[in-house]
Amino acid sequence: MQPVLRLTAARGRPLYALVLAVVGVMLMAYTVVVSTEANAAVTLLSQGKPVTASSVENAGTPATAAVDGNTGTRWSSAAADPQWIQVDLGDTATLSQVILRWEAAYATAFQIQTSANGTSWTSIYSTTTSTGGVQTLNVTGSGRYVRMYGTARATGYGYSLWEFQVYGEIGGGTGCGTANVAQGKPATASSVENAGTPASNAVDGNTGTRWSSAFADPQWLQIDLGATTAICQVVLTWEGAYATAYQIQVSSNASTWTSVWSTTTGAGGTVTINAAASARYVRIYMTTRATGWGYSLWEVAVRAGGTPTSPTPSPSPSTSPGGPIQGGGSLGPNVKVFDPSMSGATIQSQVDAVFNEMESNQFGTGRYVLAFKPGTYSGFNAQIGFYTSILGLGQNPTDVRINGDVTVDAGWFQGNATQNFWRSAENLSINPSAGFTRWAVSQAAPFRRMDISGDLNLAPNGYGWASGGYIADSRVSGAVGPYSQQQWYTRDSQIGSWVNGVWNMVFSGVVGAPATGFPNPVYTTLNNTPLSREKPYLYLDSGGNYRVFVPSLRTNARGISWANGATPGTSLPLTSFYVAKPGDTAARINAALAQGLHLLFTPGIYHIDGTINVNRADTVVLGLGYATIIPDNGVAAMRVADVDGVKIAGVLFDAGTVNSPVLLELGPSNSSASHAANPTSISDVFFRIGGAHPGKATTSLLVNSDNVIIDHIWAWRGDHGAGIGWTVNTADQGVIVNGDNVLATGLFVEHYQKYNVVWNGQGGRTIFFQNELPYDPPNQAAYMNGATRGYAAYKVADSVTSHEAWGLGVYCYFNVDPTIHAARGIETPNNPNVKFHSISTVSLGGNGVIDNVINTTGGPAQGTATVPSTVTNYP
């Protein structure tokens, strides 16, 4: 067997750049000595101070690394212009010198800017001819905030600084008074934990009472001082549930806010903050919690005096580091909202208009959501086409009742459902008019949190071919009939019965599922799902406000999560999300994420010229209506830090025309933290290489973090559409798992040019795998893995000593050269703790041969009869 190389997130610079970086570090050491001797009269002010940046390349290059005094650590940004890094000196300073210690990725054009309030900036140095290295800049100016604002890069990477050092002297005393001008003033908050912890407790002068918030991010507490006041200091007395990241903001009208101080390294206790401003309203805006509780403050004191700096209000949210980007907002024109007062005929007309556009629009740009407010509806049939999601806006499926139909059929493709991709149904209760609901889909078409009173038919009218599919957290009172479906995975659900199977039917945690019988009948059944977390979803609360519900983690799950009432979990207000619209840049999205907002993509196409960086634990990223992210210029589309509990759902990553190294990366290459108690999860996340355009990406999904849950993905290198060809839509691997104890439930990966799945981590588990090998190798010579004919679909690295998988199907359809062979469907080390159950290989119509099922076990899949070759257990 061939050794498996671990794909990492390394930037892959040539060796000469690494040598230059080492030489640069040596030169820095020399420069430090010279600078210290030449400037003995001034003080290094920036080291260890709060620092923020417009973006970071990954979790290993944070902004804090540029002010830590360590010339072996660095900040680096996304590969886009402009970018900035700013340091808060804590008080106004007279500046004399700035030293920039560049890594090889330096700026050719940049400015040094200062600000009194972090909003209005003044340039005190600028250049368009920088050559990098160590730059000692003698400057004249003053301010509390200092930033490097880069506008042109010397390389294709971002900006990277080993150290950002600011020298000068802090000004004289503050002249700050001692009276607490906040005591007894009106206080309001984003939320309260309970009636015993109101906002007023934080300004009552009693250190034995406290305000505490709900258990979610962000939260705020604001105080009305009654009149414009010259503020000089804010003192926070935290209870044990403190903020690690927060801002002090001021406003003249309680509407437009300006940040005058911020930190991402809060440590609780009593914090005295020098913040000079003139304002009536003061707000503590908290974005990251130190504990699993909310935020809690015994007291907030505001002191007046000194010489305030009147803040300049920020314009409407921008990517500049001024006031915070506001959460919430419109969901856009492509979220069609229906309410129970609407007639069936009115609803039919509107859903038909969407379906007529999207029925056969397989690679179009339309993206839609059909959203139904809580209540009862009747008299229509909602047919669901491409890139269309139908969903209920209740907290539970039974909150929206449709006495009518939700239907997917395949009339557009002459009764063949094998291309019914990219559509979904969620959170609805259906009482179908004919006693059954037809959901004839293939990949990337989840059926979640659905309550069907009657039967569920998964085949198209006429029982044409179909290649699905996925059901989760759903209840079907009658029979589920797959009929012509080749394979299907059902998780954590309840069904009346299951009618039949073709090649590979897998169940985990399903009440009413048939018993395991593989290979005849083709059922593989696990009594429970070892670990699951349902997808976050949009809903309306009792006040008519949009919120996102985040279901809790389930262990050894069986049956629906809403059997005994509401699904357990956490509710987040839409105001805690940055509501993205097509046209938003990666820089703007990153600024919102860095501020502590979650991220919601409204339906549409998002071209991004930089990587979206998700660095905060428990961040929710939710796409509506198959929101599609296309990385331009070869950037990675999204990277997630090695942190707890990130949830990504409902997003389609569509590779751009310039090759990206990876589309979605979970954790940097050196990830090692355990996330067993709060894993990152991805749900209904899809990847596409070609079809809409000639996309290219080396790897679609790279999992470096431990304990990740992969719940229903389809990674697809296109076999039809635009931009299709062996040397056109190039893609090596679909999924690489380097993290340990990763669980995949519903893994669909197809047509990649090398191993479709590579599993390097220990303790991995897969429940259901569906694969087609690439259709289009031009000949056997083009499809060789060294001396081995072809690549296995699913490769477990030789170093792995523990792994288990259930219900795997691998198919070949080498239609360009039907004489091609693949040596095996599954390739794995021979180890008693590396186990496979219920494996089948199939040659579709005799187009090619898979010689063995797993390693050298199992006979060939070949011949026009399209009969599976199977192995029940291995070893």
C-alpha–C-alpha distance, residues 498 and 459, integer Å:
13
pLDDT bracket for residue 20 (50, 70, 90): very low
pLDDT at position 137 is 92
Q: Which pLDDT tens digit goes with each residue over 293-344?
A: 999 999 999 998 744 333 333 333 333 334 578 899 999 999 999 999 999 9
- Alpha carbons 573 and 192: distance in angstroms, whole number: 14
> Half-sphere exposure of 220 toward its Cβ, with a 13 Å CA cutoff?
24
> Which of 286, 305, 324 is the endpoint of a domain?
305
Pairing between β-strand 388-392 and β-strand 423-430 as defined by DSSP bridges = parallel
**Residue 322, pLDDT score:** 43
Q: How far is CA 34 from CA 30, 106, 134, 156, 433, in A?
A: 7, 22, 12, 32, 84
What are the tokens at 810? 């691998």
Q: What is the pLDDT confidence band of residue 174, given thresholds at 50, 70 and 90? A: very low
Quote the Cα angle for 227-231-233, to 5°: 140
Question: Exposure string (b/e) for 397-415, b if CB count within 10 Å is 16 or more?
Answer: bebbbbbbbbbbbbebbeb
Spatial distance between the Cα atoms of 737 and 703, rounded to a whole number of angstroms: 5
pLDDT tens digits, 532-556? 999 999 999 999 999 999 999 999 9
Distance CA 287, CA 824 (A): 50
* Per-residue pLDDT band at 70 (split at 50, 70, 90): confident
- For tokens 């083709």, what's the residue? 522
Two structure tokens written together for 624: 């509506």
**Which of 740, 766, 771, 769 minimizes the C-alpha distance to 754?**
771
- pTM to 2 decimals? 0.68
| Shared-domain flag, residues 274 and 301 | yes
Distance CA 99, CA 89 (A): 15
Among 107-116, 171-180, 799-808, which is the least confidently predicted range?
171-180
Q: Which one of 17-21, 212-216, 713-717 scores highest in mean pLDDT?
A: 713-717
| CATH number of the CATH domain containing 774 | 2.160.20.10
What pLDDT sits at residue 31?
33
Using CB atoms within 10 A of its CB, is residue 682 exposed (0-12), middle (13-18) or buried (19+)? buried
Structural domain of 132: 15-170
CB-CB neighbours of 94 under 10 Å: 13
Are 615 and 526 in a shared domain?
Answer: no
Q: pLDDT over 90 for what percent of the chain?
A: 77
Closest CA to 626 of 397, 370, 405: 370
Bridge partners (DSSP) of residue 281 are 224, 251
Q: Is the pLDDT score of 261 beyond 90? A: no
CB 305 within 8 A of CB 208: no
Residue 117 vs residue 464, higher pLDDT: 464
Residues 677 and 588 placed together within one structural domain of the fold: yes
State the average pLDDT for the chain: 90
Token pair in block for residue 290? 């130190």
Residue 543 lies in a domain: no
12 pLDDT more than 60: no
Residue 253's pLDDT band, with cuts at 50, 70 and 90, is confident
Q: Are residues 241 and 134 in the same domain?
A: no
Whether residue 672 is contained in a domain is answered as yes
Known catalytic membership, residue 665? no
Over residues 514-535, the mean pLDDT reads 98
What is the C-alpha separation between 527 and 504, in angstroms, rounded?
A: 17
Q: End of a domain among 110, 142, 170?
A: 170
160 and 282 housed in the same domain: no
Q: Where are the alpha helices (DSSP H) in 452-610?
A: 586-595
Kindly report whether the peptide bond that precedes residue 432 is cis, defined as omega within 30 degrees of 0: no
Confidence (pLDDT) at 94: 82
Q: What percent of the chain has pLDDT over 70?
A: 93
Per the CB < 8 A criterion, the answer to whether 822 and 847 are in contact is no
Helix (H, G, I), strand (E, B) or coil at 238: strand
Residues 293, 382: one domain?
A: no
For residue 566, tell me if it sits in a domain: no
Q: Is the pLDDT of residue 182 over 90?
A: yes
Residue 133: both structure tokens together: 């290295």
pLDDT tens-digit series, residues 120-131: 778 899 898 999
Residue 330 main-chain phi, psi, to 5 deg: -65, 145
Q: Does 428 score more than 80 pLDDT?
A: yes
The Cβ-side half-sphere exposure at 382, using a 13 Å CA radius, reads 32
Q: Which residue has the higher pLDDT, 19 or 166?
A: 166
Sorted by sequence, the CB contacts under 8 Å of residue 15 that are 6+ apart come out as: none
- Same-domain pairing of 794 and 840: yes
Q: Does 8 reside within a domain? A: no
Confidence category of residue 348, pLDDT binned at 50, 70, 90 = very high
Confidence of residue 753 (pLDDT cuts 50, 70, 90): very high
* Cβ(200)–Cβ(252) below 8 Å: no
* Confidence tier at 260 by pLDDT (50, 70, 90): confident
Predicted pLDDT of residue 5: 35
d(Cα 373, Cα 561) in Å, to the nearest integer?
21
pLDDT of residue 276 exceeding 90: no
Could you tell me if 220 and 283 are in contact, meaning their C-beta atoms sit under 8 angstroms apart?
A: yes
Q: Coil, strand, or helix at residue 234?
A: strand
Q: What average pLDDT does range 267-276 have in this prediction?
A: 87
Of 150, 50, 121, 123, whose CA–CA distance to 322 is shortest? 121
Question: Mean per-residue pLDDT for 856-874?
Answer: 98
What's residue 323's pLDDT?
54
Q: Cα–Cα distance between 682 and 709 in angstroms, integer? A: 6
310 part of a folded domain: no
Alpha-helical segments (H) within 666-726: none
Give the tokens for residue 607.
């071209």
Count of structural domains, the chain: 4
Distance separating alpha carbons of residues 752 and 730, to the nearest angstrom: 8
pLDDT at residue 171, as a whole number: 60
pLDDT of amino acid 42: 53
- Are the beta carbons of 415 and 675 closer than 8 angstroms? no
Residue 266 located in a structural domain: yes
CB 397 within 8 A of CB 375: no
* pLDDT band of 34, cuts 50, 70, 90: very low
Residue 702 lies in a domain: yes
Mean pLDDT of 645-668: 98
The answer to whether residues 75 and 128 belong to one domain is yes
User: For position 529, what pLDDT does the model report?
Assistant: 98
CA distance 438 to 391: 16
Q: Could you read off the pLDDT of 681-718 as tens digits, one per residue?
A: 999 999 999 999 999 999 999 999 999 999 999 999 99
Q: What is the pLDDT of residue 33?
A: 31
Token match 């029979």: residue? 479
Cβ pair 761, 799 in contact under 8 A: no
- 212 plus 130 within the same structural domain: no
| Burial annotation 50-73 (CB, 10 A radius, 16+ → b, else e) | bbbbbbbbbbbbbbbbbbbeebee
Largest CA distance in the chain: 90
CATH code for the domain in which residue 22 is found: 2.60.120.260
Residue 141: per-residue pLDDT: 81
Q: Are 631 and 655 in contact (CB under 8 A)?
A: yes
Out of 299, 665, 772, 827, which one is annotated catalytic? 772
CB under 8 Å to 38, separation ≥6 — which residues? none
Residue 559: CB partners within 8 Å, gap ≥ 6?
A: 492, 493, 494, 509, 510, 511
| Amino acid type, 435 | G
The per-residue pLDDT for 175 is 61
Element holding 638 (H helix, E strand): strand 638-640
What is the chain's length?
875
294 and 410 housed in the same domain: no
Residues 123 and 269 in one domain: no
The answer to the question of residue 387 being in a domain is yes
CB 434 within 8 A of CB 452: no
- Tell me which of 161-170, 558-567, 740-749 is least confident: 161-170
Report in angstroms the alpha-carbon separations of 339 from 347, 354, 540.
9, 17, 12
Q: Domain boundary residue among 305, 322, 344? A: 305
Residue 584 CB burial class (10 angstroms; 0-12, 13-18, ≥19): buried
Residues 166 and 185 in one domain: no
Judged by average pLDDT, the poorest of 183-187, 740-744, 840-844, 852-856 is: 183-187
Minimum mean pLDDT range among 117-126, 247-256, 348-357, 730-739: 117-126
Asked if residue 764 has pLDDT above 80, the reply is yes
Q: Count Cα atoms within 13 angstroms, Cβ side, for 56.
A: 25
3-state helix, strand, coil in the chain (%, to 5): 10, 45, 45
State phi, psi for 245 to the nearest 5 degrees. Answer: -130, 125
Tracing tokens 């680096």 back to the chain, one arrives at 76
Distances (CA, A) of 109 to 521, 540, 670, 866: 68, 48, 32, 63
